[in-house]
A and B are shown apart, each in its own frame.
Chain A
């Protein structure tokens, strides 16, 4: 990507990158669940209230996908990301209910250049997503491949 602000070298251990905040609406919850996770508590307020989740709640995969967008808008779109090989763990700590506003942060844990792919490094992050009450609703760790700034200069 031209005009990247963050390359591999910028992801130093301990550095914090805020996620964009996002309101999760009932319509979005029902739309996602209708396509991918049509369980009653993700499709109606009434069924949600009758479940242990306590209200119309987002599919965990919807929350993970919304987190992805919050990360993209917050900082990833300005980085030299080359995608990710996976997620070490992700915990759905509390339900995300219709009307919740999510925010959060990605914190760099460690980074190393990849031997197998010159010019690319792997950055490990801790991601935390919280609701408007400051409660952590989701947390996880994952590595993301980042192009090195040095590699860009070599190519130029």
Chain B
């Protein structure tokens, strides 16, 4: 079955929720993005964000983490019902990634995915490109992250 049959355009699917602890924020940032406002709560007060907050890449990786958990369960569910799950491939990139609000220590982000468009890839027959809107919302209901993702699908 095709993704567009499983997930009609405009239907928002919540993929999961992730708590960003101080420890997780600092651990990620020390590896990949050690700017003061991502690794040092005291120093962060002197910057625009005003307090320790997650690297934007950490927020994005969190979307992926909940998506894979959701998709793994979804594939198992479809197979248990005797259906053939959509065969999704890698992504060629993303557009319009907005980090709309900082993700502060202690924030809980609920992520979602929404298919907007699916079309055949002209350069590779039997392959489709799916466009999705992916977002993350904090415990106050504020959208903290949103981007337009792409994922390949094989017929």
Contacts and interface: CB of A to CB of B under 8 A. Distances in A.
A77 B39 CA distance: 13
B92 A52 contact: no
A107 B5 CA distance: 42
B32 A89 contact: no
Interface string A15-46: 00000000000000000100111110100000
Given A38-B68, A86-B96, A64 B60 contact: yes
B97 A87 contact: yes
A108 interface: no
Contacts of A64: 57, 60
Interface size class of B (residues with CB under 8 A): 20 to 34
Contacts of B60: 61, 64
A81 B89 CA distance: 36
Q: Taking chain B's interface residues, is the majority helix, strand, or loop, or is none over half, making it mixed? A: mixed
B96 A37 contact: no
A111 interface: no
Contacts of B100: 85
A117 B96 contact: no
A60 B97 contact: no
Interface stretch (B8-16, B47-55, B77-85, B109-117): B47-55
Task: Name, among A1, A60, A61, A82, the residue most crowded by chain B CB atoms within 10 Å (CB to CB).
Answer: A61
Contacts of A35: 61, 65
Interface size class of A (residues with CB under 8 A): 35 or more
B51 to A, nearest CB: 12
A84 B68 contact: no
Contacts of A89: 93-96
A92 B92 CA distance: 5
Contacts of B96: 86, 88-89
Contacts of A77: 34-35
A87 B134 CA distance: 14
Given A69-B33, A86-B147, A87-B147, 10 more contacts: A32-B61, A35-B61, A52-B89, A82-B47, A85-B98, A88-B95, A89-B93, A90-B95, A92-B91, A92-B93
27 contacts: A1-B36, A35-B61, A36-B62, A36-B64, A37-B64, A39-B68, A41-B90, A59-B64, A61-B60, A65-B32, A68-B32, A68-B55, A68-B57, A72-B35, A83-B48, A85-B98, A86-B97, A86-B99, A86-B147, A87-B147, A88-B97, A89-B94, A89-B95, A91-B92, A92-B91, A95-B90, A117-B48
